[in-house]
Structures are given as C-alpha cells and as structure tokens.
Amino acid sequence: MRLTRLIVRDVRSVEAVDWRPVAGVNVLVGPNGGGKTSMLEAIHLAVAGRSFRTRDTAQVIRRGASGLRVGAWFELDDGRRAHIRMERDAAGTRLRRDGEVVRSASQLARAFPVLVLSQDGVRRFRTERAERRGVMDWGVFHVKPEFHAVWSRYHAALAQRNAALRRGQPVEPWLGPLAEAGGAMSAYREGYLSRLQEHVTAVESEFGFSGPLKIELQRGWREGVELDAYWRQSESRDRRLGYTGGGPHRANLSLGYGNGIGLEQCSSGQVKIAYLTFRLAQLRELLTARPDVEPMVFFDDLTAELDGDHLAGILGGLVRQPLQRFVTSPVLTADLNEHADAVFHVKHGAITTATN
C-alpha cells in the first residue's frame, strides 16, 4: 500500500495543500507549528476517520473554516488503486471510498493500517492507562478481525449496565452478554501479548535496545474470580459509583524490565525506548500475521529525543522494511538525510520539495 497523492483543505494550520509523497522514506522538516504533524494527521483522518492527536475531530478544523476535507489516493499491493475522501463539518463526518459511502470507519482503518510513533504518544503511554490499553487494542484489532465485534458488543452491554446502575434498575440481564464478550476480549489480549513477547526480544536485538522488557496484561478485575461473579460481588459498590468500576474496560498494559523496574520508575529515555520497543514489536507481529498488508509508519517528532546510535538504528531498521514511512523533524540531520528518499520543507501550512 502506498499513498501517492494527498489533498488537504483546512486541517489545523494547513489551508490548501496538494502533495505527492514517494514510496519510501518521506522526511518532513520545518519549524514547530509549521504543519508537519498536520500533514500526517490528514493522512490518518482519511484512513481512520479520526485524528491520532485528539478524540474531537472538530478541534482539527482550521480556525475560521466551516469544515475540513481530505482526499487520499493509494496504490494498493495488488496493483489496484483506491481513492478515499473524508469530510468533517457541523453536519458530522463523512467518508467515501471510490465514491461509495463508508459505513464503518473501523473497516477502512483495518484495510489501511497506520502505525503512529510520536513524542506525544510517548508521554501518554507513560502516564495514561487508557493510552496503553488503546495501543494494545490497536494491535489486537489489526491481527484479529473478530476482535472489533467483540469489543463493540462488550461496550454496548457495558453502557446498558451503567444506565441500569444509575437508574436503580436490575443489572442481572446484562451480566451474561457482558461476561461473554468481556472474557473473549481478555483472551484475545492475553494471546496477543504472549505472541508479542517474542517480537519484543527480536526488536531489542535488532536495534540494540536495553532489555529485557517484560509485558503483562492486568485484566481489570480481581484475579481468580470469574467476570460474572466479580460483577455480582461489586454490584453495591458500582451502584454507589453509578458505573461499572472494574472489568476488561479497566485493563492495563504493564511494562517493566527484568530487574523489577516498572514504567513509572523509568527515566524519560527508558520510557521512550520501552515505547518504541513495544510499538516496533507490534509492527513485526502485524507483518507476520498479515503478510498481505503494508502499513504506513509515522515517526513524528521523535528524532530530537533519541541519541545518534538509537536514531540511526531505528531509521536503518525502518528502511529495511518495504513500507512507506513519514518522518517529521525540525531540522534535517545527517542521519535523516542519509535515509530519506525524499525531503519536504513544511512552513506556514505549505509544503515544498527539497533537494535531497
């Protein structure tokens, strides 16, 4: 899969851009706030129907504009072409693929996977349980097509139980569907992380990262207790809270090193390496489980945060993958210039091709 053309209208600081990226490593350089990340955000809007920076797509619309539009043209792995059009305004979000209305953004996202590695992602990965859970579920979603349906059933039943708790109504009717879907969700996650540990070890070896990084699923409810029994035991507490306090929706991805140091005790540099190790392991698992797909990789605003050896190793490793990659940086470093297939300058929401 390769993005061949991107037309952007009114995405953050970008008013109007028509851009043709290349097949390999696309390096976008320019001052902070100039629009580099906004270009990546526009790609993500097209293939996932949402931003990777905020849950509220309305925040992405350029100030003073009534809405945003993104058009993305792709050359697919089998030689076919695809055109995706995304619009967002006061009437909502609309997606079309080759002129046909897209009813489910999740189907589009699975067909056009994007791995986002970003400095903001590192920060949230360290501090937010929901971010770590979302990163884990991104991986499960892309290798297990049935996971999304299970996830949706669980959250639909969870919303019904929470409504019953708030209204003082019986919650027993929701225990069966909730426990069935919740147990399946947790099993998918456990199986995924078990497979991922092998890839973590491989990434540490390939890129020279310190380790060993250990990953573990904290299920979100008390160990040794079945889900339906757990929710029956916690019903009084949940009624006081007005929502379901425990379950797979409260799961946590726990990471730490063999010497007992958890993510919360790690230095900023160690957290960045743990984040990159986990996410690059996810890329390996995706390529192993779905050899028919070629995901795009975003490497956003991380070059200044890594020392020369780690940066060179990661860039070299990404170059060895036959994937389209997008790297943003305030300056064009020697390492970036060495590995770039094309360099673009981005400033004041405009993009121009530089001589590499």
Beta carbons within 8 Å of 330's beta carbon, 6+ residues apart = 29, 30, 31, 32, 304
Helices 119-127, 129-143: crossing angle, 10 deg rounding = 110
Token pair listed for 244: 């379901």
Q: Which domains does the chain have, with CATH numbers?
A: 2-129+189-222+248-354 (3.40.50.300)
pLDDT (tens digit, 9 = 90+) per residue, 219-239?
Answer: 999 999 999 999 999 999 999
pLDDT digit string, tens, across residues 187-210: 999 999 999 999 999 999 888 787
- Would you say the pTM of this structure is higher than 0.75? yes
Distance between CA atoms of residues 16 and 164, nearest Å: 48
pLDDT on residue 208: 79
Asked if residue 261 lies in contact with residue 234, where contact means CB atoms within 8 angstroms, the answer is no
Q: What is the pLDDT of residue 36?
A: 95
How far is residue 23's CA from residue 31's CA, in Å, rounded to a whole number? 24
| DSSP codes, 195-256 | HHHHHHHHHHHHHT----EEEEEE-SS-TTS-HHHHHHHTHHHHHHHTS--SSGGG-EEEEE
What per-residue confidence (pLDDT) applies to 309? 64
* pLDDT confidence of residue 12: 95
Alpha carbon distance 3, 82 (integer Å):
9
> CA 165, CA 237: separation in Å to the nearest integer?
10
Give pLDDT, residue 136.
Answer: 97
Residue with tokens 């019953």: 164
- Amino acid type, 92: G
Q: Quick one: which of 92, 93, 96, 91 has its CA closest to 108?
A: 96
In angstroms, the CA 303 to CA 336 distance is 9
In sequence order, the 6+-apart residues with CB closer than 8 A to the CB of 172 are none
Q: What is the pLDDT of residue 259?
A: 65
DSSP type of residue 263: G
| Distance, C-alpha 24 to centroid of its chain | 21
pLDDT at residue number 337: 87
**247 vs 44: CA distance, rounded Å:** 30
Q: Where are the alpha helices (DSSP H) in 34-171?
A: 36-48, 105-111, 119-127, 129-143, 147-167
- The DSSP symbol for 62 reads P
| pLDDT on residue 305 | 61
CA–CA gap between residue 330 and residue 308 (Å, rounded): 16
Ranges of the chain with pLDDT below 70: 258-261, 304-309, 311-312, 316, 318-320, 355-356
Nearest to 212 by CA among 130, 289, 278: 278
Residue 281 CB-density burial (10 A; 0-12 exposed, 13-18 middle, 19+ buried): buried
Buried b (16+ CB within 10 A) or exposed e, 299-325: bbbbbeebeeebbbbbbeebbeeebbb
